Chains A and B, each alone.
Chain A
């Protein structure tokens, strides 16, 4: 009994990510709008993408240190969310996360950002007004991410 209580206590105390499918038309409403008032990083990634996997723990850490929100959108299959959830947990990503739900990648890519060519990792930076102020293509080092966050924090309405 005490072991069960201990497990429950640890489970409740350990933050984890929830993962749900996301269609492109829902992007603004489900991903961007809930984070207005704070700088937001939206990272597109996949478990099959080595640089994405390498980048994620640093991204999670940088976001937390800078006090900005991080939402990840995985391009893995939306049929099985467990590998995504499991990886995000290990990488220290918490909160409401997503897996792209699509039949044609091109429609999804253009539905998110027409200037995106589909390369991942890809990170969009939104200021506290929910305005898109940065596009980071490819893996970012800590300094690059910090610069993008700092620039987003400076924008004013």
Chain B
């Protein structure tokens, strides 16, 4: 291995490490307080955790077709799990999507959960969120217990074979360990 290649390999390893240096499954999830896109009222993770078994944090977008493929599924998921003591928070960190657009999008798609605006993508940076949609689940102790996708099929909700986020939330509700706590999917990069 030449010196040049060694330097390159080291640089690549550093880049890879940086990409995953943020929120880690099994560690404390970063706290956040952000204004709701609709009325500017503060939504705090800590407050939600006091009254829920877990909080599903979803980084979402207004204009990303991949994220929009999940609008109905996210709305339904929030309704289904509210009764089970799980709150959902949508976070929009795209600098190109103002709060008014985010609020209109949430209303249009019947989101019953809070959607907040992350100006300057500070919370996206804290979590290391890279694309939309991207899901994180924080349990009542404040530990990050799931990071990844909603499911594997953005095109067709009826053909989903691996509803990973729901499976993770079911485990939280049942008090059992989450089998697949880290999953991957494609998505639109968050515009920073």
The judgment on whether A and B are partners is: yes
Per the CB 8 Å criterion, the residue count for chain B at the interface is 28
Q: Is the CB of B189 within 8 A of A134?
A: no
Among B8, B19, B149, find the residue whose CB has the most chain A CB atoms closer than 10 A. Answer: B8
Nearest CB on B from A16, distance (A) = 26
B residues 1-16 with Cβ under 8 Å of A?
2, 4-5, 8, 12, 15-16
Asked if A117 is an interface residue, CB under 8 A from chain B, the answer is: yes
**Contacts A50-B188, A119-B189: A134 and B162 contacting too (C-beta < 8 A)?**
no
Does A134 lie within 8 Å of B12, measured CB to CB? yes
CB distance B16 to A105 under 8 Å? no
Tally of A-B Cβ pairs under 8 angstroms: 86
With A48-B66, A118-B131 known to touch, is A135 a contact of B15 (CB < 8 Å)?
yes
Contact A156 B4 (CB under 8 A): yes
| Closest B residue to A134 using CB positions | B12
In contact, B5 and A137 (Cβ under 8 angstroms): no
Mask of B86-118 contacts with A, CB within 8 angstroms, 1/0? 000000000000000000000000000000000
Contact yes or no, B152 A155, CB < 8 A: no
Contact present for B5 and A49 (CB under 8 Å): no
Q: Which residues of B contact A49 (CB under 8 A)?
A: 66, 188-189
Contact among A103, A115, A137, A155 with B130 in the assembled complex (CB-CB below 8 Å): A137
Contact string against B for A residues 109-150, beta-carbon threshold 8 Å, 1 for contact and 0 otherwise: 110000111111100000000010111011100000000000
Residues of B within 8 A of A (CB): 2, 4-5, 8, 12, 15-16, 19-20, 63-66, 130-131, 149, 152, 155, 161-162, 183-189, 191
Give the top 7 A-B pairs by smallest Cβ distance, nearest first.
A48-B65, A119-B130, A119-B131, A106-B184, A115-B16, A118-B186, A118-B184
